[in-house]
Structure 1
Amino acid sequence: MRAHRIALWLAVGQLACSPGRARTSSSPEPAAPVVVPAPTRETPRAIEPPPTVTVVSPPAAVEPTTPQVDATLIEGPAAPAPASPAQHARLLDSPEDPEPKLRGGIVKELEDVSYIVGNEWSLDAFREVITGLGGGYVGVGPDQAYLMMGWQRPEFAWLIDYDPKVMRVHAMYHALLRHCGSRKEFLAAFEPEATDAIAEVLDDAVADDRVRRLYRNNRDMFRWRLRSIERKLARRRVPSWLTDDETYVFVRELVLGGRVRALRVNLLDDLGMVGIGDAARELGVVVRVVYVSNAEEYWEQYAPQFERNLAALPSDARSLLLRTRLVWQVNRDYVYNAQPLQDFLAWLAAPGVETLEDVVGPKPPAQRDRINFVLTTARPP
């Protein structure tokens, strides 16, 4: 059954941040389907590449080149002290957006579909540019944030998504981070023999019994995702919360210290992101990383509210927007793109800028034998 479900998930390909409908009955929480774009002449295959990087000046797209990335562990700062009661209360006080009536997808067939695991396999492409940035983290998706937090070492983190099922995934992870003192214990929590014991832990830790059902009915999917990331990053010698004990401890202590909040936020709505910006300012935190996955590929053009939402976040010259662009038929992965957040805001404010291609140019040619990373530094004319 496990092999069948994973094969089915791969057969249709998944997009990292497309959402789905919440369930309120006792029916199983299904694993997330995935999508593969229209076939090309190239045959997809799995890769274990070194990272690549290029600097792009829109609108031209250029071939990535290979940087020298030191993947050896340099121990980062320890987690900050637990949030004070006042800090924690302010973190939890900002509003959420209402659940949308229909959640988008990169194609119509994927509207209103849930994704309880990510499928971006080379998020370590961002590691070099976010390591040690500190500040605040704001990002979408079910599991990407835990990798990012381990590298960025933020003071506060807001884990956002407009799918309530993704909120339950975060509730599950947070309960298990509290329960599991080491990364080995955490990973073992998704092994078959741990199912009954961990379901009991979740029953005791989380009031919503849908979290327990989510774990029971999708444990094999979570295990596959986490173990796959662990193996890939171990082979690349990249420290992360799944491959390095010290990094796991940092992420765990950040959660236990009341400095991480998961909340329902729609990038195109007018409450959640603005509220995060207000909270960050009152907490004295500059948002240094905003991760939107491939959300921009869902939109025909940018909405004014998206610009207002990003502008509402306190940022500085070191703040980055991280995005991905789908190249599934090339390497079953994405192009990973980082851009200074203030540069991106300048592009959004420029006359005639309406689409992602207006900002960063056409999707650069991806190479199947390596990780494709693009750093965009050009400012609008």
Structure 2
Amino acid sequence: MNIRYARENEKSSIKEIWNYCFNDGPKFMEYYFKNKYSRGNTVVVNDQDDIVSSLQLNQYKIRLNNKVYDTSYVVGVSTFPQVRGMGYMKNIMDFTLRELYNRGQLVSILMPIDYRLYRKYGYEHCYDQLEYEINIDDLKKFKIIGKIKKVDDSNVYNLIDIQESFLKDVNGNIARDEKYYRNLFEEIKSEEGHIYIHESEGYIIYFLQDDKMFVREIFYKNIDSLKSMLKFIYNHNTQCRKVIITAPINDKIRFVLDNPKTCKIRLKPFMMGRIINFKEYINTLIIDTKVNNSVNVLIKDDFIEENNGVFEIMIKNGLVSAKKVKSNHDISFDINIITQLAFSYINIEEACILNNINENNINDNIIKVFSAIFTKKDNYINEYV
């Protein structure tokens, strides 16, 4: 077994594994391997001259706690059935985590099929979405103010402006630029989806699936734009009976519905994250606090040795730093809990509950330091590949 990056002549073998493991149509496959695939970001397992397992590290910039980080989005984790259960996944993940550390990346993201598969590698749940299921007829009352039209290339900067306004209060989202949206146009087209814009105030990405509409994104600057796009959804009432809408957990749709009780709203787990380099991540943070103190935390990471050990975390004049020390620890967490704290998905009180630590047994200084550094926020991300 040889684990390495893909070679130039192995693209067809990687497409074969992807096609076997995932239920993607030929148009999406053509789009993905033309626009997203990079052999330099593809890790493979070669066994007796055959590629039997692979994953891909799609590159993004992520906005996390008021900083922008280069990140690898782990996608396409796939193995042929004849070698499943032989430990290939553990080895490929071990190789990948070491590579991400060596690349100098501090965080990584992953959309799991099954959370249990990836928790053991230090990835942990860090993102939720709201999912609405609404009867189309319940949107009849709204009115369209202004014009809604199909998006074209001239609207790229309008979309950037809309999403920056809509996502200003969420954490952990992907930085989207002109290249991102031009690529997104091709992705949605490959899946036979649609993108429409309402004036320069909102946009909607959706797919028609039998008698349902699936709305992947509905971003808006104001409530009038939201209501106009909800009416636009209603205008499909001869084609669809229901609409499924995914949205950030701080979304406002539920506040404008005529009768929310006829709508199903659920919290949908969406994405996992992972801290790749704890020390350097902490050293990037600048916070607004009057706290000036330090805490020693013991971290356990089974895959990245540099994250193992006792770290002194210090706050001094709003700057945060971490260094390994040979000392006793005040509190201990595994890398999964540390990841959720670092992604601002949980706070220190919740971390203690998850770690079976009695908060009453923790001194106030630990709570103050962790609360100052790791502030819980509304996380949102909506990338699929």
TM-score, length-scaled by structure 1: 0.23
Structure number with higher strand proportion: 2
Q: Which protein is bigger by CA-based radius of gyration?
A: 2
Which structure has more relative contact order (CA 8 Å, sep 6+)? It is 1
